Structure 1
Amino acid sequence: MNTSTHQAFQGEQRDLVRGFTPFPHDRADEYRRAGYWQGRRLDDILRDAARQWPDKPAVIDATGGLTFGELDALADRVAAALAARGIRPGDRMLLQLPNSKEFAVAAFALLRAGAVPVLCLPGHRSAELGHFAEVSGAVGLIIPDVAAGFDYRDMATELVEANPDLRHVLVLGEQGPFDSWSDLRNGPDTTPPAYDVDTTAPAVLLVSGGTTGLPKLIPRTHDDYVYNTTASAQACGLVHDDVYLVVLPAGHNFPFACPGLLGSMTVGATTVFTDDPSPESAFALIDRYGVTVTALVNALAKLWTQACEWEPVLPTSLRLVQVGGSRLSREEARYIYDGLTTGLQQIFGMAEGMLQFTRPGDPVEVVANTQGRPVSPHDELRVVDENGVEVAPGEEGELLVRGPYTINGYYRADEANARSFTPDGFYRSGDRVRIFADGPRAGNIEVVGRIKDVIHRGGETVSASDLEDHLLTHPAVYAVAAVALPDDYLGEKICAAIVFRGAPVGLADLNAFLDERGASKHARPDVLVPMPSLPMTAVGKVDKKKVVAAITG
């Protein structure tokens, strides 16, 4: 590395860690001594897999597959092409590709080039991506041409006009006015430039589910995310002969690293991608490839279970089905356990870090009645009352967490960090829980509610306040409350209770308005209820419990 290149690299690294809250030195040293942090780069997961199992299928989608050796070489080729285009170590790149082997190629190529992927979801639109670009200082994005009827190139045009720093736009498919992903992918085999990596710095930026305002960026370091991945694989008992099916959006923390794609690689297991989660399609893939492990949200798990009553091809090879995203009731868990697989694994976790899993071999009482126990022996959990005082064992309260793979602050979000983290580094989850103190469920956690104002719709966490802010910009909307209503399949559906200024506007028109504003696709009201006024609390806030009571009768 010559002097000018080295100086540029140092500048990018300094910019990368601006607004990043690192782990305190004492805790970082403790995690290294315990062997959790080993100074490995995140992309070493693929390098090591290619070295051990070069001819084993690594990733498969509807267009074919790649072995670990082929995927590793392709990541190098694309990384070198990215570097040649001026993408430098420390640069941030928005990555928004559908479930496919190209997602894996792009993620590892960015990591191999030293860039930091910002893992966007397919449903994010210009409002969210523009926010991510501004906060992260991203220099480009990687998108499909058209997916699920949406033209991402039109969105990219809008984003580039508003964010001139987005100099690199790569399109998978018909490129339109932008650069072609295929040109990078199909170029000559070359080696990317070498560079030093600080494994305590961010490797990827995940996006939060959103609790207040637009989603926040979650900086996951090489050290903590490698551990997140390997510890999750161990908690699932993942082995070399497993085949993992990515059904949920691949940019989610859940199917990416819990254990997901990354965890599968740590043991040499194959990953199959699909963008069609319907039972008919998914069951056929499970049968074709002998899929043994997958991750589902509550609503999808129940749909698959129901479909076992009529589908001609059943998912008999599944040995482990992880279910997370929203709490399963005892009845729902037992329904899935009895009807889909006795290998049900309940998951309670967050992209910010902390993961709780039930374990293979746990008695059904634990699997059906709890959301599991911590992945790491060094996970620290506190359950506190509204004054921040720890409650007695077995009592309910808000869960506070910290540990070797839980962040210490959102990326460039000082106000959110002041609300979300305690002075001694515990993350305020916003979830109301209790930890069983005795009996067969001792040490396991039960999620009993939430404190933050969010709606869990089909596995996506929707910020009520963000949706309300969007709706309040409509000229016909005087006041609005976004609330959750129970739904048998989605878990919760989104209800917009609205006080209109004059004649009510229809649900279809309101959702079209949200489309025009570039609001996230998954943040669309399912139900619209016009109201003459919204009930208020004694301190002048909307009383959402009374709103729900008025709607449900």
Structure 2
Amino acid sequence: MTSPATDHPDLLNGFVPFPPERARQYRDAGYWTGRPLDSVLTRAAATWPGCTAIIDATQRCSFAELEQAADRVAAGVAALGIADGDRVLVQLPNSCRFAVTLFGLLRAGAVPVLCLPGHRAAELGHFARVSGAVALIIADRIAGFDHVAMARDLVADHPHLRHVVVDGDCGPFLPWSTLTDAGAAIAPRPPIDPSRPAVLLVSGGTTGLPKLIARTHDDYLYTATASAAAYGMTAQDTYLVALPAGHNFPLACPGLLGSMTVGAATVFTADPSPENAFALIDRHRVTVTGLVNALAKMWAQACAWEPVPPTSLRVVQVGGSRMSPDDARFLLERLSPGISQIFGMAEGMLNFTRPGDPLDVVMHTQGRPMSPHDEMRVVDENGAEVAPGEEGELLVRGPYTLNGYYRAEDANARSFTSDGFYRTGDRVRVFTDGPRAGYLEVTGRIKDVIHRGGETVSATDLEDHLHTHPGIRAAAAVPLPDAFLGEKICAAVVFAGRPITLSELNAFLDSRGVSVHLRPDVLVALPSLPMTAVGKVDKQRVVRSVTG
């Protein structure tokens, strides 16, 4: 093993590693194997070379073909001068090229920064600045948005982005063939320290712009392997990536990476509508997928009229926001006989119900921890542990939960206890007896966020953008219940003069490069914002004012 202290000082600057004693415990327990993350492909190509690895609308690759394609991309990356430990922003739609790019970068020793299709210049510029990324790999357009034009502005503002590679019409940048047609064999990669970052994920953005989450080779490989095992996945399964592939959920819980650990195929789709998804499920006999609650409910409703219902599904993971028992029953009756509630976070900790759990557990809990070494504390507002079974904020640490955000000292001071527990910001209770013992129920949240369609939206971040509009004197972003999205975003605004419309407001936000998922669904004018006794906006009263 190489030394993390000297090999990649730039990569490791601002990275918070696991404490040595806990790291030793996880290695001794067998959770951490010391293998690099891309070893899942190496092993799959050796074990199931001719079996299908990935499928999208236009192509499919066997595991052997995927490995060859990843090696070509790794050679192309190296030919551009992207070195071991360099960070590369990746913003690609769900497709085989996402997988090829991911593994090609890992093979080259580069660290992918996995951006989501809805991120815009504000977020990508932030990720580029924090990570020190040297390159950007994008599609020319996703859902009609011109990513090449955005890249022009990013390069102008961040000159350390030396290379932009575009899948599609590349404009002034490098075409995708630059990565695949380099013609040079990839040089042998030096041994990878498995305790260093493998990928950088993005947080849900609960306060300000999203933060970067460094997932190590050790912890992320364990996440993928353990979650696939917990769901009983085998080479006979097929996983459908219906959510953005750069999300932790469809990437490794078990997702693409977990499927690969057992030789299962992965199908990508950029269109999660019931009509399209059901056809793919039928064509490829998909058995496992992960959905946010709103999308799962839409699929279940569509089963009543779509001509080809999804009969091959054996497990549908559902997460992103709390699911009611009535919704769980509806999904079990309409969508799949196997529903798994999952409560997790890109920061690490995963809780889920397992196949074979009693119906009561599946309907009324959000699961139990994935690992025997997951540690949970439930605390009150003063940080003291509550009585067993009582509600409080969930604090966690374990073999796959981060120890600090990447290059974010202020956020880390707020988000972690002195002994390394991550403050999730979620209110939970852990059941203590009966069949639910050890399982938890999510009862609310501490942080000021809105859960819209599986995205965690920072109310504070949206408010910061709203307050830059010259026609807005004051603004509050609040959640409103929605049957399909779970929660929709309401901007309650005090105007300084002429009121503006929702479309005008969202056009303004678009001009600022704000993510699509941060745009308000509802705009309400108020004469003033109600305040608490200590001078803060009283958001409960805002909601009551809006809803009547």
TM over 0.5: yes
Report the AA paired with residue 81 of structure 1. G
Q: C-alpha offsets along residues 510-553 of structure 1, whole Å, 9 cap, x if unaligned?
A: 00000000001110000000000000011110000110011111
Correspondence 1:361 to 2:368 = no
Aligned equivalents of 2:235, 2:55: Cα separation in 1: 16
Partner of 2:264: 269
Once residues 334 and 15 of structure 2 are traced to their aligned partners in structure 1, the CA distance between those partners, rounded to angstroms, is: 45
Find the counterpart in structure 1 of residue 374 from structure 2.
379
**Match of residue 447, structure 1, among 442, 450, 465:** 442
Task: Determine if the alignment matches structure 1 residue 115 to structure 2 residue 105.
Answer: no
Structure 2 counterpart of 1:346:
341
Matched, 1:411 2:397: no
1:298-377 counterparts in 2 under 5 A?
298-377=293-372
Does the alignment pair 1:27 with 2:22?
Answer: yes
Match of 1:90 in 2: 85
Q: Distance in 1 between matches of 2:335 and 2:181?
A: 42
* Secondary structure of the corresponding residue to residue 499 of structure 1: strand
1:279 aligned residue: 274
Please state how far the C-alpha of 1:191 moved relative to its aligned partner. Answer: 2.7
User: Partner letter of residue 518 of structure 2?
Assistant: A
- Cα distance change of structure 1 residues 273 and 335 upon mapping to structure 2, 3 Å threshold: same
Q: Partners of 1:35 and 1:45 in 2: how far apart?
A: 16
Provide the residue aligned with 1:540 in structure 2.
535
Q: What is the letter of the counterpart of residue 265 of structure 1?
A: M
CA change 1:11–1:142 in 2 (3 A) is: farther
Distance 1:17 1:392 in 2: 40
TM alignment of 1:128-527, pairs within 5 A: 128-188=123-183, 190-527=185-522
CA distance in 1, matches of 2:401, 2:148: 35
Please state how far the C-alpha of 1:186 moved relative to its aligned partner. Answer: 3.9
Q: CA separation in 1, counterparts of 2:44 and 2:9?
A: 31
1:399-424 Cα deviation digits (max 9, x unpaired) = 00000000000000000000000000
| More off after superposition, 337-346 vs 181-190 | 181-190
Count residues in correspondence.
Answer: 547
Deviation track 1:183-239 (CA, whole Å, cap 9, x = no partner) reads: 322443623442121110100000000111000000000000000111111111111
CA spacing shift, 1:468–1:12, aligned 2, 3 Å = farther
Give the secondary structure class of the aligned counterpart of 1:522.
helix
Deviations for 1:415-450, whole angstroms, at most 9, x for unmatched residues?
000000000000000000000000111110100000
**Among the aligned pairs, what percent are the same residue?**
69
Partner of 1:64: 59
Contact residue 78 and residue 186 of structure 2 kept, 8 A: no
- For the Cα contact (< 8 Å) 1:112–1:192, is it kept in 2? no
Q: Return the letter of the residue paired with 1:294.
A: T
Query: Per-residue displacement from partner, 1:25-78 (whole Å, max 9, x unpaired)?
Result: 000000000000110100111011001011000000011101000101111111
SS of residue matched to 1:437 = coil
AA partner of residue 177 (structure 2)? S
Is contact 1:97-1:142 (8 Å) kept? yes
Preserved CA contact (<8 Å) 2:242 2:290: yes
Give the residue type in structure 2 aligned to 1:109.
G
How far apart in 1 are the matches of 2:382 and 2:5? 44
Contact 2:88 2:113 in 1 (8 A): yes
Contact 2:106 2:112 (8 Å CA) reproduced = yes
Equivalent position SS for 2:126:
helix
Secondary structure at the counterpart of residue 487 of structure 2? strand
Report the equivalent of 2:71: 76
Matches for 1:11-26 after TM superposition, within 5 Å: 13-26=8-21
* SS state at 1:315 partner: coil
Q: Is the 8 A contact 1:113 1:193 kept in 2?
A: no
Say if 1:230 and 1:263, in contact at 8 Å, map to a contact too: yes
3-state SS in 1 of match to 2:518: coil
Runs of 4+ in 1 over 6 A off after TM superposition: 9-12
> CA offsets per residue over residues 134-153 of structure 1, 9 Å max, x none?
00000011000112110100
CA separation in 2, counterparts of 1:190 and 1:524?
Answer: 45
Q: Corresponding residue for 2:524?
A: 529
- C-alpha distance in 2, partners of 1:528/1:194? 53
The verdict on how the C-alpha distance between 1:408 and 1:10 changes in structure 2, with shifts beyond 3 A counting, is closer
When the two chains are superposed, the root-mean-square deviation of aligned CA atoms in Å is 1.3
Conserved in 1, the CA contact under 8 Å of 2:89 and 2:114? yes
**Paired residues of 1:12 and 1:91 also in contact (CA < 8 A):** no
* Counterpart residue number, 1:3: none
TM-score relative to the length of structure 2: 0.99
Distance 1:182 1:56 in 2: 26
Separation (CA, whole Å) in 2 of partners of 1:222 and 1:139: 21
C-alpha displacement of 1:12: 7.0
CA positional deviation for 1:333: 1.0
SS in 1 for 2:387: coil
- 8 Å contact 1:83–1:193 — kept in the other structure? no
> How far apart, in 1, do the equivalents of 2:182 and 2:17 lie?
38
Deviation string, structure 1 residues 281-320 (Cα, Å, up to 9, x no partner): 0000000000000000000000000000000001000000
Distance 2:232 2:168 in 1: 38
1:439-482 residue CA offsets vs partner (Å, 9 max, x unmatched): 11111010000000000000111000000001100000110000
Helix, strand or coil: the match of 2:434? Answer: coil
Q: Which amino acid aligns with 1:300?
A: L
CA distance in 2, matches of 1:400, 1:227: 21
Contact 2:76 2:181 in 1 (8 A): no
Residue identity opposite 2:499 in structure 1:
P
